Structure 1
Amino acid sequence: MAVAPLDDARRRIAAAATESDLVTAAATAHDAVKQVIDTRVGAASVAEAWSAVARAALSTAARLVAPGMDWYASGSVGRGDALPGSDLETVVVRSSEATAESALAQAAHVHDLLACCGLRADDNGAIASRVRFNRTAQDWAIGIGRWASDPAADRGVVMIGLLADAVPVEPVLGGNMDLRDQVGIAARAQPVSLTAMLQDSTFARAYIPSRLRVLTSGDAGVDIKLAAVDPVVRIARWAALSCGSDALPTADRIAAAAGTRYLDADDARVLAKCHAIGSSIRWRVRAASWNSDVDVDERVELSDLPPQDRTALRSIGRELTGVRRKLDYLASTSTFSSW
């Protein structure tokens, strides 16, 4: 099996009995990435295996340092889309008996330990050592209700998206409902929240420069994640929330929503293709200069890519623009009015 070295590292991480054992086991995971690169395994298989490694590391770190709290991995790690070098988003449900100060201190210790394992915290600060992402079950329930009813306030769209991608790394304690289940129910009960999620998913944050733009501006740089992968992730998340799917990986979300009123079959095929090709190019770029000690730079110069990758990225840009425009138009009609 091509990703067997990563699977072996994951088992060592899960079995670690001390912080030192965990750091040592995590080092084997980073070494395993080099072996996986040599086998030229596909991006989807690498992402699934690496996400499992990262979740195992979070679970073990929490067990060693901060037991008694429900820990969730979110973002690409939660979805199962994370490539080696990806950052880690976390949220915590703490006991009502625990003080905020002690829970935050424990969470900070967990992330310090994970940093020693080569797993960096989310660049945007979506981590459980911050009070926004470290709450009691009651506080989370109140927040979810507020974000769903008024997604424009208090970064509601961001929080809904974060929780929609959140997966517990161990069984949830005390009979609490999974946060992802809660946010799905709340979002589908509030049409305004799904409308806001759609608007967010079709907003273009980055572009793949055309040949004309490169010639006129001289700017041939592109952030592959922002321009080619993230737009599909956001649309797939909205579609899965809307149709009630509990799928997590982006490809599975697209498949679950395909043929529904939210995503027709043709658009689903386009999005699946864009995600697969964009992720593959992103992984090849990352693998070519893999160094676990250096932060990943998602921005590359188009001139540094093979001609076929440049062509593929520009095609993705055109395809995504078309899907965005179509969804924006449908949102302006009665197509999604049953929300």
Structure 2
Amino acid sequence: MLHPSLTELADAAPLAQDFATVRGVLKESLDLLGNALNHGEDPAELAGWLSQVITDVLHSPGLDAHVVLTGPVGRGDALPTSPVRWLAVVDSQEDPNEKISALLTEVGFIAEPIGAATREEWEQRALAGEDPAVYLDAGTWVAAIAEVDDKALLQDALSSRPPAVETYEGLPSLDMVVNIRENLMIPTVKIARWAAHKSGSLAPTTAQRLVDARGVLTNDEVDALTQVWTSALSLQSKRWMDRIHDQETTAWDLPALQRATFGASARLLSEVLRSVEAREIDTK
């Protein structure tokens, strides 16, 4: 169960009445998240909480803009190290992207606006098959109508496969560059997105997509990817807490337990991707 301070902020987020309050909620979300991680709360549960707070406060009256969150926030997977991505829906009103980007950057988030267009224009782009991952991660508004090429989604996932783990006495080579987001999180997100969509699921979160993908993925593959995802969230959260998430890191820089966790997760992920590739592509 989340600490009352977290639930109180979550309750306040959609009620923000002015821009200063929106800024305050965003800033406090990072402070409270840090405290929660220090007290050992579940990074996966906290990712869902942070995603909801960001979504609700950006939809509040205090921002006075129509935005649709996608990417990690839209999926409910966001960590403080995740980019905040959104579609601005505009008719006659002013494009809000510059204002929102400045706000998020000031507070400490990574802002990645995708663009500004009318609702009809966004829907037309989704129907045209333009960047389907954006629309699948943006919720039921466009996820249900997006034209999706499952083969292209699969190929995108396979192309993100982490590099082979160089080992020494069973552990990753100390000189190997480690990037939790690029090597573990992004490939897992992509393979879960493909498998869930192929199974007919429009679930938003990576964890639920993996649950729904049983049948497209084997039980062992789902279990392995779930383990990788949980480990990656924990490792990336620790790096944020240590203020080194944006630094290039080698295995030498990781504590021994984190190094072993990364190595085991990278191997599991690579094995699953090889298995899926053999089944879905090599046999066709």
What TM-score, normalized by structure 2, do the two folds share? 0.88
User: After the TM superposition, which segments of 4 or more aligned residues of structure 1 sit over 4 Å from their partners?
Assistant: none
Shift of 1:135: 2.1
Query: Residues 5-48 of structure 1, C-alpha deviation per residue, up to 9 Å, x if partnerless?
Result: 23222333322211122223333222212321221112111111
Does residue 195 of structure 1 match 2:177? no
8 Å contact from structure 2 (residues 18, 62) kept in 1:
yes
Structure 1 counterpart of 2:144 = 181
Structure 2 counterpart of 1:230 = 186
8 Å contact from structure 1 (residues 22, 117) kept in 2:
no
The counterpart of 2:240, out of the listed 286, 296, 305, is: 286
Does residue 146 of structure 1 match 2:128? yes
Say if 1:84 and 1:204 are closer, same or farther in 2 by CA, change over 3 A: closer
Shift of 1:92: 2.7
Structure 2 counterpart of 1:137 = 119
Residue pairs, 1:1-339, within 5 angstroms: 1-60=1-60, 63-67=61-65, 69=66, 71-95=67-91, 98=92, 102-104=93-95, 106-122=96-112, 127-128=113-114, 133-147=115-129, 156=130, 159-167=131-139, 178-183=141-146, 186-187=147-148, 193-204=149-160, 206-207=162-163, 209-211=165-167, 219-258=175-214, 260=215, 262-289=216-243, 296-297=245-246, 299-332=248-281
Shift of 1:334: 6.5
Partner letter of residue 144 of structure 2? Answer: D
Partner letter of residue 64 of structure 1? Answer: G
Shift of 1:134: 2.1
Structure 2 counterpart of 1:190 = none
Alpha carbon RMSD of aligned pairs, Å?
2.8
Cα separation, 2, equivalents of 1:301 and 1:36: 27
Deviation larger for 281-290 or 72-81: 281-290
8 Å contact from structure 2 (residues 51, 76) kept in 1:
yes
Cα separation, 1, equivalents of 2:128 and 2:117: 15
Say if 1:181 and 1:79 are closer, same or farther in 2 by CA, change over 3 A: same
Cα separation, 2, equivalents of 1:142 and 1:13: 31
Say if 1:248 and 1:327 are closer, same or farther in 2 by CA, change over 3 A: same
Query: Residues 302-331 of structure 1, C-alpha deviation per residue, up to 9 Å, x if partnerless?
Result: 122222221221122222222112222222
For structure 1, the 5+ residue unaligned runs are 148-155, 168-176, 188-192, 291-295
8 Å contact from structure 2 (residues 192, 210) kept in 1:
yes
For structure 2, the 5+ residue unaligned runs are none
8 Å contact from structure 1 (residues 208, 222) kept in 2:
no
Structure 2 counterpart of 1:152 = none
What TM-score, normalized by structure 1, do the two folds share? 0.75
Cα separation, 2, equivalents of 1:161 and 1:308: 33
Answer with 1 or 2: which has the greater Rg. Answer: 1
Partner letter of residue 105 of structure 2? Answer: A
Say if 1:134 and 1:317 are closer, same or farther in 2 by CA, change over 3 A: same
